[in-house]
Amino acid sequence: MKEVSFETYDMLIERSINDARNTETASQAIQLILTLSGHLEFAEMFKSLTYFEQEIYKLVTEDALKFTGSEEQDDSDLLYFYYIKKQKLFITELKQEHGSLIGSMKIGSYRTKIDDLFEENNIRHLKEVKECDLFFSGHSGQEIIKMVNEIKHFCQHMAPISLFVNHKLYSNFYELNNLYPAHHKFDADYILCALTTKSIEDWEEEDKIFVYSLYLLFKSGIQTRAEEINNQQITLSSLHIFFEDKYTTYCEILHLPLEPIFKASSLMEKSLRVRELFAKVRETVLIYRDINGISLQKTEKFLGLNHASLCTKRDNALEEMLRNQFGLISADHSSLYELSRKLVYQELTGQIAGNDRHNSIHALVHSILSTLGEKTNSDVCFSRFFQNIGAFIKLLREKKVEDICALKLQNYSCYIVPSARLAHRMPVEMLAKMCVSIASRMLYNSWHYIPGNFQSYTDIIENRDYYFPPQLPDITKLSKYHHVGHVKLSVNNCIRAPHSITIDDTILHAFMDIRLVRLGDEVYQESDLLDSLVYTQYLYQVYQAIVDEVAEQNTSYSLIEYDKDWYVQYYSLEAAPNEKSTVY
């Protein structure tokens, strides 16, 4: 097993604060806090600062101003540096009751300059509030309430975000959540509920900027766009830059000339133009997201091929395995699909056992995942699907969406394949426990995604928690700081490659996926993601074949129930090289 280190998010913050307190200059202190001692990109985290704070950083950097540690001082000529809400550096002349004091610096001869910066910050803020007022004045009270409810809907069904308008936090991140209550109740203590009870004239200025900004973001092309600016200031000026960067990137990909008129366009015009180009980019190249597991910021990136090209890519290692183990002469997608349908039919008719180690759907899935895990040097490789796919098809055909949304976790399936080195070094009981622990979380993911495929059944799906099913693959680094399971195992680097399954005429997004995990600090590269996407196309042939054969036969069919006892038995046999049995 790779060497791992144990450090929680709170421990990392405490270490970074102590590092900052022990620096000599204010600029070093700011850098250490923003990057959490080098774990985050400074350029991205710099965007979490207000205009005033950004200018203060430039000032203290240029003149190398001295910094005093956190000892208490009572001086009206001091600028204080705090870390608040586990998220944010706060630079202020006023001592704060909440947050961790990092230190302070003497203002002295910089008083006039700092006062001017503070005033400029206020002028910029009021200018944005005025623009928001102009926008909202063109909409009725009911239309504004509808906007707020749309924003709440998107925020409820996307991954956690934390955004700032000046120093006001807007977050749906677990204990920091102040946007909406759990279980879709109404509670005026939460921002997005309270705003629907007030006239626009009674809104706080920061709330106007937040709502207008998110409204524009969600218009720009993808339901989860706000995740791309996690832990940053959300202002109208920052949105102009965001949309202009997107526009430039998309035009480069599409080989379109830049239109001079775009920069002078309104925010709404920019948002809609970016949305239009985003749709074309998705047809041209594969989009993935690079995720920082600490800040949870998701950066949009691109692979130099489209979906059609991906579907034609072959993998020599995998196809050699399919030829050697399953006798596929031409181990392409269509041959794999036909083999999978044949295996399902043979299992349904009793010709082979579903738990055959060498000739079954399970054996096929295991071999694909194992080959990918080895190729990408992953510690664990796994895949989600559905347990009794025949029962699911029946519910779908009967349009029993409420029953589908009510399915329990055990109705879903996730198969875990640890690497050979992990399996050989861990005691079987511990290995089995790890596999079941990972699978439990993945079953919850499946349960959490499924309602998002039935958006037209609003009355049904809004009665329970769900996320929009992911459609873009991603690479995550520094993933070991928030999720309890990741912290315990030091799961630091991950890949997720979701894929849809079609049942009759219904497309079910993220009904299956492949996921890879590395313990320790070895980061996944784009080449690993591409391998994962290629293998996902192969595994898709297997899962789609299962669905099509079972749907055609109109019968029940279940995958193996992968519980702790199953993993113990399987890996006990793996540890016995002379074992002759082909069934476990």
Band of the pLDDT at 216, cuts 50, 70, 90? Answer: very high
CA distances from 127 to 123, 338, 489 (A): 6, 63, 49
Query: Do 127 and 133 form a contact (C-beta atoms < 8 A)?
Result: no
| Calpha distance 570→198 (Å, rounded) | 61
Return d(Cα 79, Cα 95) in angstroms, integer: 9
pLDDT surpasses 90 at 580: no
pLDDT band at residue 576, thresholds of 50, 70 and 90? low
Q: Are strands 78-84 and 100-106 parallel, antiparallel or unpaired?
A: antiparallel
pLDDT at 69 over 80: no
Q: How confident is the model at residue 369 (pLDDT cuts 50, 70, 90)?
A: very high
Give the HSE-up count for residue 106: Cα atoms under 13 Å, Cβ half-sphere. Answer: 6
Contact (Cβ atoms closer than 8 angstroms) between residue 56 and residue 91: yes
**pLDDT band at 583; cut points 50, 70, 90:** very low
Query: How far, CA to CA in Å, does 319 sit from each of 315, 329, 368, 534?
Result: 6, 9, 10, 12
What percent of the chain has pLDDT above 90? 77
Fold that domain 349-574 belongs to in CATH: Beta-Lactamase (3.30.450)
Closest to 89 measured CA to CA, from 44, 36, 39, 33: 33
3-state secondary structure 333-382: HHHHHHHHHHHHHHHHCCCCCCCECCCCHHHHHHHHHHHHHHHCCCCEEE
- Length of the chain as a residue count: 584
User: How large is the average pLDDT for residues 180-192?
Assistant: 90
Three-state DSSP class for 129? helix
Mean pLDDT throughout 181-203?
Answer: 93
Q: Is the pLDDT of residue 579 over 60?
A: no
Q: Tens digit of pLDDT for each residue in 468-494? A: 999 999 999 987 765 555 555 667 899
- CB 129 within 8 Å of CB 209: yes
List the single range of 83-92, 130-139, 344-353, 491-500 with lowest mean pLDDT.
Answer: 83-92
Stated pTM of the model: 0.92
> Is 363's pLDDT higher than 90?
yes
Residue 74 has pLDDT above 70, yes or no: no
Instruction: Encode 323-346: b = buried (16+ Cβ within 10 Å), e = exposed.
Output: eeebebeebeeebbbebbbebbbb
Rounded to whole angstroms, how far apart are CA atoms 335 and 341?
A: 10
Average pLDDT, the chain: 91
If you compute the radius of gyration of the chain from its CA atoms, what whole number of angstroms results? 27
359 CB burial (10 A radius; 0-12, 13-18, 19+)? middle
Tell me: pLDDT of 47 over 60: yes
pLDDT band at 113 (very low <50, low <70, confident <90, very high): very high
Can you read off the two tokens belonging to residue 50?
């207000």
Residue spans in the chain of domains classed CATH 3.30.450.40? 349-574
| pLDDT of the residue at 6 | 61
- Give 414 or 70, the one with higher predicted confidence: 414
Query: What is the 8-class DSSP label of residue 99?
Result: S
370-374 own/partner pairs: CB under 8 Å, 24+ apart:
370/417, 371/317, 371/318, 371/321, 371/535, 372/318, 372/514, 372/516, 372/531, 372/532, 372/535, 373/417, 373/419, 373/516, 374/419, 374/420
Task: Pull the structure tokens for residue 165.
Answer: 């308008």
| φ, ψ dihedrals at 571, nearest 5° | -80, -15
Contacts of residues 40-43 at CB distance under 8 Å and 24 or more positions apart, as own/partner, are: 40/292, 40/294, 40/295, 41/292
Integer CA distances (angstroms), 75 to 81, 89, 447, 532, in order? 14, 20, 56, 58
Count the Cβ atoms, other than its own, within 10 Å of residue 162: 23
